[in-house]
Amino acid sequence: MTDADPEILDELLQHALEIQHRGLGDTPPEECLATDDLVDVLRHRDLFQALYGRPLDRRDIEDRLGVSRATSHRFTRWLEERGYADRTDSVYSLTGEGEIAAEAVVQFERKIRTADRLSPLLDVICEDHRDFVVEPFENATVTVATPADPYAPVTRFLTLLQGCDRFRGFNTTHMVPPGFADRYGTLFADCEVELVSPPDVVETLRTTDDGFGRALDGDHLQLRTRDALPYGLALFDDSVGIGGYDEETGAMRVFVDTDTAIARAWAERVYETFRENSTPLTADD
């Protein structure tokens, strides 16, 4: 997959998401699997994981799952009856259907776990973008504002920004503390920076932040404008992050960051897409 066309991958992903969303409400009740059947498959998650990619005999299944001979017999009989496994010389291998079921079970558990961890972010970003952030940020650090520490997400952002040689992002203004003295001139003095921000935010900065104008006059800050931005995206030297904001106050409620390769690749693609559809700003504008 490393040589696949990114545009084709994006199209396939969008198509897959459309299918998922269409399936949420359009499947006739008579075609839906019974709840007991779904629960039965999930109940055998450990069995699917044990057999995925590795044929096992019944003794191996007993050892891996720590179950009795009677239980392993019941497990293997269930697999064969459902068509999820074939037996050859007392060795059980998942069928094609069994492998798909195994993948679905693992992905279901992973997505539920990730959704729970990312719930503070998913609650504050546009629903059209929720599916796109789950996989890249599966094991991300989640920092949430609390009454005891309302600036915890800001602190996390500033920690990652410290010592950064290159910073890019869109809709990142609220990641900087309100009233932060000379914030653009100070934060980005030794950093190559490119930002995409809404025009009204830029106008506010022009009138309220002297450091903004001086930074724009220099050569370390490149600014672009775009009207609609779904959340805050930050690309640091070694990690990427997403900020979710309060709709009424604009304060950052949550900051989620990770240094995984999949998240970096995703963030680069997303940033370039928004950058290409933005307008460059100069000090004379």
User: DSSP labels for the chain?
Assistant: -TTS-HHHHHHHHHHHHHHHHHHHHHS-GGGSPPHHHHHHHHHTHHHHHHHTTS-EEHHHHHHHHT--HHHHHHHHHHHHHHTSEEEETTEEEE-HHHHHHHHHHHHHHHHHHHHHHTHHHHTTS-HHHHHHHHTTTTT-EEEE--SS-TTHHHHHHHHHHTT-SEEEEES-GGGSPTT-TTHHHHHTTTSEEEEEE-HHHHHHHHHH-HHHHHHHHSSSEEEEE-S---SEEEE-SS-EEEEEE-TTT--EEEEEEE--HHHHHHHHHHHHHHHHTSEEE-TT-
User: How confident is the model at residue 15, as a pLDDT?
Assistant: 47
In the chain, % of residues over pLDDT 70: 78
User: How confident is the model at residue 162, as a pLDDT?
Assistant: 82
pLDDT at 91 over 90: yes
User: How confident is the model at residue 78, as a pLDDT?
Assistant: 96
102 versus 8: the higher-pLDDT residue is 102
In the chain, % of residues over pLDDT 90: 40
pTM higher than the cut 0.85: no
202 versus 44: the higher-pLDDT residue is 44
Of the listed ranges 4-13, 111-120, 200-209, the least confidently predicted one is 4-13
pLDDT at 1 over 50: no
Q: pLDDT band for position 159 (50/70/90)?
A: confident
Of the listed ranges 84-88, 128-132, 256-260, the least confidently predicted one is 128-132
User: How confident is the model at residue 3, as a pLDDT?
Assistant: 47
Average pLDDT, the chain: 82
Residue range 8-42, pLDDT digits in tens: 455 545 545 554 555 555 666 777 778 888 899 99
Report the pLDDT averaged over residues 211-235.
76
